[in-house]
Structure 1
Amino acid sequence: MTTCRLCGSESLASVVDLGATPPCELFLTAEQLDLPETAYPLHLRVCTGCLLAQIPPLITPEDTFTEYAYFSSYSTSWVEHARRFVAERDLAPDAFVVEVASNDGYLLQHVVARGIRCLGIEPSANVGRAAREKGVPTLTAFLTPETGAAVRAEHGPADLVVANNVYAHIPDVVGFTEGLRALVADDGLVSVEVQHLLTLMELNQYDTIYHEHFQYYTVASAQRALAGGGLRLVDVELLPTHGGSIRLWARPYGEPGPRVDDVLAREKAAGLHELSGYADFAARVAKVRRDLLRFLVEAADAGKTVVGYGAPGKGNTLLNHCGVRPDLLAYTVDRNPYKHGRFTPGARIPILAPERIAEDRPDYVLVLPWNLRDELVEQLSYVREWGGRLVFPIPSLEVVP
């Protein structure tokens, strides 16, 4: 990659190079284990001009999202997060709500329950089908300016457009933003939730760097991206989701509120509005890798059993970067039946049903979706019954008593 996808600058500085890995959601069937896998470089850089952190667009959204392994509704805490979001919105009975990347209807199901007109725009046919089975109207499509204009022409302008955990997934960030602008009414609101680069850097959350995520936002860089597509950032909220996210509120017209200035000041104090703030991240990532490998090797040498919990995309970045294979992590489990009997990309760790943990009573359970810590500590409390312990690899290795 030689040019910034936002401002066109040809000056990009390295932040961290994670080697080469397969796409993180391409879980393997048993029949595919003897076939080659394609791995792509995973190298995060930051533009020296606009400071957008980004990776090269080596795979397309069509490669990833036409058939997708992630179903949002398998996270109870995420569904509750969506329910609260809808409950807190002052929506008129005749309002129209559109969600982009609506997945399996995890959020819009709560809009439907209120009797409010809505539409999901979801590119993955399999998860969009699950949404329609819940009674959530869903269009199978990627958002482009043309898609946005067509939806507006058919259904009218949206009073609220929601885009959760998708703004990092689109390499054409300006075109996608233009699509959001095409959907929303002139006096409507756009809500965008995306992981905050500030917490990613501060808490060593490097496993959220993977090929589906093309860019990583500060509020400053998100403000520039929104403006490039015709939207004005008017407010921001700091959220605990995904280890630390930002909810960006944008309008076609408006000025930034005081919370925007507050978060911009925090980012500036952390050094993220200049190149120096990114200088030591690679060294901190290397320490996370060494600490996890040391723990797994020592556990194996001591005859202890270690299994995983969860098979999220972020877990595959971690496993591949650390070189973890089944000799160090016997298997992992996941609540999503789609993944059962499959194997993680690259590392080829078997994925089983969650009940397997209680059957095998391992000494340690390595929690890969660390961002769901509170939810999973409660779900996995039974591990203590036989003296098992949970292990969290990020922000630093922690073995929970």
Structure 2
Amino acid sequence: MTRCRLCGSATLASVVDLGATPPCESFLAADQLDRPEPAYPLHLRVCTDCWLAQIPPLITPEETFTEYAYFSSYSTSWVEHARTFVADAVRRVGLGPDAFVVEVASNDGYLLKHVVDRGIRCLGIEPSENVGAAARDAGVPTLTEFLSPDTGAAVRDEHGPANLVVANNVYAHIPDVVGFTRGLRALVADDGWVSIEVQHLLTLIEENQYDTIYHEHFQYYTVASAIRALASGGLALVDVELLPTHGGSVRLWARPAEVAGEPARRVADVLDREKAAGLQELSGYAEFSARVAKVRRDLLKFLIEAAERGETVVGYGAPGKGNTLLNHCGIRPDLLAYTVDRNPYKHGRFTPGTRIPILPPERIAADKPDYVLVLPWNLRAELVEQLSYVHDWGGRLVFPIPELSVVEVASREVTA
């Protein structure tokens, strides 16, 4: 990478180098285990002019999203998050029976199904053929396409402008930030609203959430850098909400610049927090690499000592972030026998790079392991409840992020 993909600056500073890993969603079938597996550098840098954190675009969205292993509906808390968002957005934007809602990267229809239930016209734009098909099967109109300015204009010509455009957990997934933002502007009505949810770089740095750095996440936003990104497509930020999702996200409410007006006070408040954390100067990033290294050492020490004691450790979940963690730490089946996942698509497959088997969740109760390493740590509250049954045989849960935490599951959490 020689230049910032947002502002074109050549002044990019290293934040953390995680070595080389395979794409995090490239789960392997059994017949692929003896084949070569490509790995790409995973090196986060920050632009010292616009302060957009980014990795080089070494893979294309087409390689990752044409056939995608992530189905949003398998997370109970995420479906509830979407339901609540739709209810709030209907009130905020004033969506009536004649409104039109578009979601970009609509996955399996987990969010738009709540719009459909309200009788509001909607359309999903989802590039992955398999999850888009699942959305259509669920009754959610879905176009299989990547968003570009041309796609946005074509949808607007066919369906009319959207009163609300939703782009949750996709703004980090596109290497062409400017083109994607112009696509959002093409979709939205001249007096409409755009809602974007994306992980907050502030919490990523503060909470050691380095496992959310992976190849399909091309950039990592502060509110300050998001304002510049939105402006590149003719949108202006009018409000921001801090969310607990994915360990700490921001919801950006934007409108066409011509009608945006003055932003809400919350925008200035979050900008002040980011500035106080040093995220608009290199000092704010200086210690991150050392803290990442400590996460790796602590987790490996725990797994090695458990193995030496003859204790069994298995995983729960096979999220993309888990594969960054497993590969960075060099964890193999000798330290983590297998992991489980609720998504049947992943059953019988193996994690990229580390080749750890992925099994159905029922395997944990059958095997009664001593420890369960929870890879989607951002769903901690949900999973502590779901996995409470491990207490029946004295099992414990292990959370690796933001620091190693061993939890004895009972009627409430008790950190050992």
TM (norm. structure 1) is: 1.00
Please give the alpha-carbon distance, in whole angstroms, between the structure 2 residues aligned to 1:180 and 1:120.
Answer: 13
Q: Which runs of 5+ in 2 are unaligned?
A: 409-416
State the SS of the aligned residue for 1:8. coil
Please give the alpha-carbon distance, in whole angstroms, between the structure 1 residues aligned to 2:240 and 2:194.
Answer: 11
1:110 paired to 2:114:
yes
Residue number among 147, 154, 168 corresponding to 1:164 in the alignment: 168
User: What fraction of aligned residue pairs are identical, expressed as a percent?
Assistant: 85
Give the corresponding residue for 1:394: 401
Please give the alpha-carbon distance, in whole angstroms, between the structure 1 residues aligned to 2:372 and 2:263.
Answer: 44
Give the corresponding residue for 2:307: 300
**CA offsets, 1:31-76, max 9 Å, x none?**
0000010000000000011110000000000000000000000000
Give the corresponding residue for 2:326: 319
Please give the alpha-carbon distance, in whole angstroms, between the structure 1 residues aligned to 2:45 and 2:243.
Answer: 25
Give the corresponding residue for 2:367: 360
Deviation at 1:87, TM superposition (A): 1.1
State the SS of the aligned residue for 1:16. strand
Q: Which amino acid aligns with 2:121?
A: R
Q: Which amino acid aligns with 2:319?
A: P
**CA offsets, 1:353-394, max 9 Å, x none?**
000000000000000000000110000000000000000000
State the SS of the aligned residue for 2:18. strand
Please give the alpha-carbon distance, in whole angstroms, between the structure 2 residues aligned to 1:393 and 1:125.
Answer: 33
Q: Within 5 Å, which residues of 2 pair with 1:34-73? A: 34-73=34-73
Residue number among 125, 135, 150 corresponding to 2:154 in the alignment: 150
1:180 paired to 2:184:
yes
Residue number among 385, 393, 404 corresponding to 1:378 in the alignment: 385
Please give the alpha-carbon distance, in whole angstroms, between the structure 2 residues aligned to 1:310 and 1:343.
Answer: 12
Q: Which runs of 5+ in 1 are unaligned?
A: none
1:258 paired to 2:262:
no
Deviation at 1:122, TM superposition (A): 0.1
Deviation at 1:139, TM superposition (A): 0.2
Please give the alpha-carbon distance, in whole angstroms, between the structure 1 residues aligned to 2:380 and 2:100.
Answer: 35
Give the corresponding residue for 1:75: 75
Residue number among 335, 344, 361 corresponding to 1:328 in the alignment: 335
Please give the alpha-carbon distance, in whole angstroms, between the structure 2 residues aligned to 1:76 and 1:150.
Answer: 34
State the SS of the aligned residue for 1:237. strand
Q: How many residue pairs align between the two structures?
A: 401
Please give the alpha-carbon distance, in whole angstroms, between the structure 2 residues aligned to 1:230 and 1:144.
Answer: 14
Deviation at 1:275, TM superposition (A): 1.4
Please give the alpha-carbon distance, in whole angstroms, between the structure 2 residues aligned to 1:13 and 1:152.
Answer: 40
**CA offsets, 1:232-284, max 9 Å, x none?**
00100000000000000000031321110000000011111111101110000
C-alpha RMSD of the superposition? 0.5
Q: Which amino acid aligns with 2:273?
A: R
TM (norm. structure 2) is: 0.96
Q: Which amino acid aligns with 1:56?
A: P
Q: Within 5 Å, which residues of 2 pair with 1:176-325? A: 176-253=180-257, 254=260, 255-325=262-332
**CA offsets, 1:309-353, max 9 Å, x none?**
000000000000000000000000000000000000000000000
Q: Which amino acid aligns with 1:57?
A: P
Q: Which amino acid aligns with 2:237?
A: L
Deviation at 1:93, TM superposition (A): 1.1
Q: Which amino acid aligns with 1:357?
A: I
Q: Which amino acid aligns with 1:388?
A: G
**CA offsets, 1:119-144, max 9 Å, x none?**
00000000000000010000000000
Give the corresponding residue for 1:339: 346
Q: Which portions of structure 1, spanning 4 or more consecutive aligned residues, are displaced by more than 3 angstroms? A: none
